[in-house]
């Protein structure tokens, strides 16, 4: 991170440093816990050939699904693209590279990237098509597959509250990939429901300590029962 | 709209659960299992990052509180939330007692295929491979045959398998099989089902071990 | 874990299943966050040849230092034994095997053990005596050393509060190795200041979900400014 | 009891810290650095699992709130606690701006030795190796010579090194060195120190780059 955390007024400023060909982690499980405001800003940017690391590519025409329709995504790394049929079609047309990973491997590789681990061995996917071409190591008599850490240039994440230092807490299952992505990118911006004074978040409940966070912005798009709506 | 076959299978699966167990439910029929645990105190884990999942009334639904199928769920007393890396640490690390999963195919060695169909635009694996590696016990819930009447319990999976690990149990609307000592054992006929029906609709060999 | 969490009245019951030759993880950084009541119970047990995984072996004659003096420890795996000079002496006399690991490697290996990771690559210790004989792998042009996961038969840990399901929260820097050790052993007992009703710990603040915990017991020995004292 | 040489070195080290940085302080002289940051807002991280360490008054000491040297510390506003695996994830993952460490020896390639002495009963490494791999900048604070008058800035470390990584800066009571382009550069004399004193007490070659 940079040494001073910024509180951004506009999502355009928050993403001012994003460039073509970068790798971008995007939090969320489907639309739940996805940084919808920052994703919309990403869609507006004049960039292309992005590599997106995210569990899904949103839904059809929603969230990251918009970015895909704009053909700004060169490659998607994730675990479940079936819920957006545009992904399969872009892939069949040869417009999109896909790296499919088991969800646990995706999560673990992101955590490894953030924690300075170069790679690790998991049993998950041993003996399946997803392990093809990957190194196998026998540890204590069992086969494991080697997986490399994932890192990114930028992570855009969704949290519940930030304090003015950049400490973050999350809301229920909107936590998902967000805290680990906060650790694994050079530049991390969090979209939050509310920014509170330092001291308002208890030291024992902070999930993401501020040293991971470069900027925060209040969410302008939020997920409700009625779908994605503008916030206030 | 309740599908009676699915409900029947889910109800039978629920009987396998024991007090205090931690259970992970896959998408489809497995999701229905939670309705049938009755007063057994079990704990549902969902891989997106929660322990203590409960069913929820429509008026209490929260769009940011969902299960692995992205359906709104409720929050039991004593539940907890965690990130996806920690959640899969629980799964791979052997901390989940039972995973109940749907399948496309299962073979005579109880290997399952449930994540890919060659030639089709299905590009997703989710948590299935992790659950198969990590859960102490894996139960498959599935209709016995596919829509075109073919047995889903096959000699050999024709779709890509999900793991080298064999599942422990298969529950369909016709029967219950257990995988023991390298063989599928038919241990139970569902109510009103005759043995011949099971034999006719099961491609894989199995040993008759009806109790 | 077993399927039902037990609330133990006596520390002897809590450790009834411990046997000679087992591997035992013990939480704490020095005496801070160490399960002092359970350590004392371990000292009383008629077992020997234990392998202890803990950052330190207590202090001289305190905490795990007592277990060492009783010659019940066959091997110690940890990162800093200098603060208990009995350790160096037992080692020189050939009475104790030691596996010294960088503190971050110790923590990461325990986490890996709990998370079903067979092993991993870290840059820490590359080029030093502690990497001697270990596999080196080049990942993205940089050298990493392979480290194996650590697991244990038993973990005894210290938490602040437990609810009756076994969910745990920790107190300030007494957290240290405790939450990760809770994930990495077959049988896990936590010593706590207080056991509260389910629902008293907020779902967002629980650090160790109950699925990791087999038993809890209220602490009878606590660390105060005046040293280790009996609790009530 | 304040040792004036140690305080001098710590004070000089504090001048290197910049607003907003996250700093990890080793045991010994580094621990003293926090006294001298004045009104610069920096954040102290300790590897046992805390961000936001502050000095503490004796009456407020809490035996369960300590730094990596096991000394009681205070809790700044906005501080947070985490487990040791997460804490070292921060270190190895490159999230600490500056580590200030003590050493036994440092050589002309700015490799340090600070964890083992052959033949002595020192069996501990702690977090030193992780900090050297992970911290963006490493500053060494040390007395220039050992108690028997030998230079600690040596041609080659005779004790086992702590890392392949060279440190960025060495601060002693006599001088400040920076490691640039493969050479030690003497960039500063401490107040009242003559160049000859530094030359006499430094075994390793260095380039004179006084500003």
Q: What is the pLDDT of residue B169?
A: 98
Neighboring chains of A (3 or more beta-carbon pairs < 8 A): B, C, D
| Average pLDDT of chain C, as a whole number | 96
What are the pLDDT digits (tens) for A130-139? 999 999 999 9
pLDDT over 80 at C185, yes or no? yes
The C-alpha atoms of residue B12 and residue B35 are separated, in whole angstroms, by 11
Tokens of B180: 């023991």
Q: Does residue C139 fall inside a structural domain?
A: no
pLDDT over 80 at C54, yes or no? yes
The helix/strand/coil state of C66 is helix
pLDDT over 50 at A173, yes or no? yes
CATH number at residue A24: 3.40.1080.10
What are the pLDDT digits (tens) for A54-101? 999 999 999 999 999 999 999 999 999 998 999 999 999 999 999 999
Q: What is the pLDDT of residue D77?
A: 96
A199: contact with D, CB 8 A cutoff: yes
Domain, as residue range, for D125: 4-208
Q: What is the pLDDT of residue C231?
A: 86
Q: Which residues of B touch A128 (CB under 8 A)?
A: 129, 160-164
Tokens of D95: 């999230």
Cα-to-chain-centroid distance, residue B20 = 18
What are the pLDDT digits (tens) for A103-152? 999 999 999 999 999 999 999 999 999 999 999 999 999 999 999 999 99
Give start and end residues of each alpha helix (H) in C64-209: 64-69, 85-92, 103-114, 178-181
Q: Which residues of B touch A178 (CB under 8 A)?
A: 83
Q: What is the pLDDT of residue D119?
A: 84
Residue ranges of A 155-174 with Cβ closer than 8 A to chain D: 163, 165, 167
CB A42 within 8 A of CB A157: no
Q: How many domains does chain A have?
A: 1
> Catalytic residue numbers of B?
47
Residue ranges of A 118-157 with Cβ closer than 8 A to chain C: 118-124, 137, 139-140, 142, 144, 148-149
Residue range C17-42: mean pLDDT, rounded: 97
Q: How many domains does chain D have?
A: 1
Residue with tokens 């025409």: A61
D19/A3 touch (CB, cutoff 8 Å), yes or no: yes
Taking CA atoms, what residue in D is nearest to C111? D85
The residue from D7, D16, D19, D47 that is catalytic is D47
Q: What is the pLDDT of residue C126?
A: 98
Burial B57-92 (b: 16+ CB within 10 A, else e): eeeeebbbbbbbbbebbebbebbbbbbbbbbbbbbb
A102/B127 touch (CB, cutoff 8 Å), yes or no: yes
Whether chains B and D touch (3+ CB pairs under 8 A) is answered by no
CB A172 within 8 A of CB B62: yes
% chain B with pLDDT above 90: 95
Q: What is the pLDDT of residue B122?
A: 75
Q: What is the pLDDT of residue A186?
A: 98
Taking CA atoms, what residue in B is nearest to A92? B121
Give the gyration radius of chain A's Cα atoms.
Answer: 18
The helix/strand/coil state of D6 is helix
Q: How confident is the model at residue C22 (pLDDT cuts 50, 70, 90)?
A: very high
Residue range B186-204: mean pLDDT, rounded: 98
Q: Give residue B182's region: left, alpha or beta (phi > 0; psi -120 to 50).
A: left
Q: Does residue C191 fall inside a structural domain?
A: yes
ipTM attached to this prediction: 0.97
Q: What is the pLDDT of residue A4?
A: 80
- How far is CA A134 from each of CA A106, A131, C48, C134, D114, rounded to the nearest angstrom? 15, 5, 43, 21, 39
B82/A175 touch (CB, cutoff 8 Å), yes or no: yes
Taking CA atoms, what residue in A is nearest to B45? A173
pLDDT over 80 at D188, yes or no? yes
Find the CB nearest B123 among A30, A91, A172: A91
Chain C: give the shortest CA distance to residue B91, in Å. Answer: 8
B21: contact with C, CB 8 A cutoff: yes
B56-60, B129-133, C3-7, D67-71: the lowest-pLDDT one: C3-7
The C-alpha atoms of residue C136 and residue C144 are separated, in whole angstroms, by 6
Q: How confident is the model at residue B121 (pLDDT cuts 50, 70, 90)?
A: confident
Domain, as residue range, for A77: 6-118+150-230
Give start and end residues of each alpha helix (H) in chain C: 11-14, 36-44, 64-69, 85-92, 103-114, 178-181
Residue with tokens 């020095």: C30
Max CA distance (Å), chain C:
58
How is residue B151 annotated by DSSP? Answer: B
A92: contact with B, CB 8 A cutoff: yes
What are the pLDDT digits (tens) for B66-105? 999 999 999 999 999 999 999 999 999 999 999 999 999 9
CATH number at residue D120: 3.40.1080.10
Q: How confident is the model at residue A53 (pLDDT cuts 50, 70, 90)?
A: very high
Chain B: give the shortest CA distance to residue C59, in Å. Answer: 32
CB C47 within 8 A of CB C72: yes
Find the CB nearest B93 among C4, C114, C203: C114
């Amino acid at each position: 991170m940079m040494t001073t955390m910024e509180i951004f007024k506009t999502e355009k400023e928050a993403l001012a440093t994003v460039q073509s060909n970068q790798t971008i982690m995007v939090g969320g499980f489907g639309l739940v816990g996805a940084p919808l405001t920052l994703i919309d800003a990403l869609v507006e940017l004049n960039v292309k050939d992005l590599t997106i690391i995210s569990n899904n590519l949103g839904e059809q025409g929603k969230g990251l699904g918009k970015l895909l329709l704009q053909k700004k995504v060169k490659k998607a790394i994730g675990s479940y693209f079936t819920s957006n049929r545009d992904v399969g079609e872009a892939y069949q047309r040869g417009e999109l590279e896909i790296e499919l990973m088991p969800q646990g491997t995706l999560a673990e590789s992101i955590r490894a990237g953030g924690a300075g681990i170069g790679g690790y061995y998991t049993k998950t996917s041993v003996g399946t098509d997803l392990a093809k071409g990957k190194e196998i190591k026998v540890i204590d008599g069992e086969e494991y597959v080697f997986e490399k850490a994932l890192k990114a240039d930028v992570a855009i994440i969704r949290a519940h509250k930030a304090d003015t230092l950049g400490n973050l807490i999350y809301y229920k299952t909107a936590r998902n990939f967000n805290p680990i992505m906060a650790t694994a990118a050079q530049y991390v911006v969090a979209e939050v429901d509310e920014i509170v004074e330092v001291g308002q978040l208890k030291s024992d409940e902070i999930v993401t300590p501020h040293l991971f966070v470069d900027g925060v912005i209040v969410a302008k798009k939020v997920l409700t029962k009625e779908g994605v709506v503008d916030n206030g | 709209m309740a599908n009676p076959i699915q409900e029947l299978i889910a109800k039978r699966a629920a009987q396998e659960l024991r007090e205090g167990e931690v259970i992970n439910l896959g998408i489809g029929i497995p999701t229905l299992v939670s309705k049938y645990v009755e007063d057994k105190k079990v704990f549902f884990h969902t891989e997106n990052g929660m322990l203590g999942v409960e069913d929820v009334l429509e008026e209490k639904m929260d769009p940011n509180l969902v299960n692995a199928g992205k359906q709104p769920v409720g929050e039991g007393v004593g539940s907890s939330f965690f990130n996806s890396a920690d959640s899969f640490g629980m799964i791979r690390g052997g901390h989940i007692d039972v995973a109940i999963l749907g399948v496309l195919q299962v073979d005579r060695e109880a290997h399952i295929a449930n994540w890919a169909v060659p030639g089709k635009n299905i590009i997703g694996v989710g948590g299935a491979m992790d659950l198969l590696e990590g859960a102490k016990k894996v139960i498959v819930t599935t209709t016995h045959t596919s829509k075109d009447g073919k047995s889903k319990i096959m000699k050999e999976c024709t779709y890509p398998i999900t793991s080298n690990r064999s599942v422990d149990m298969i529950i369909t609307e016709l029967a219950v099989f257990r995988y023991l000592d390298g063989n599928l054992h038919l241990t139970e006929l569902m109510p009103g089902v005759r043995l011949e029906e099971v034999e006719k609709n099961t491609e894989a060999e199995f040993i008759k071990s009806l109790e």
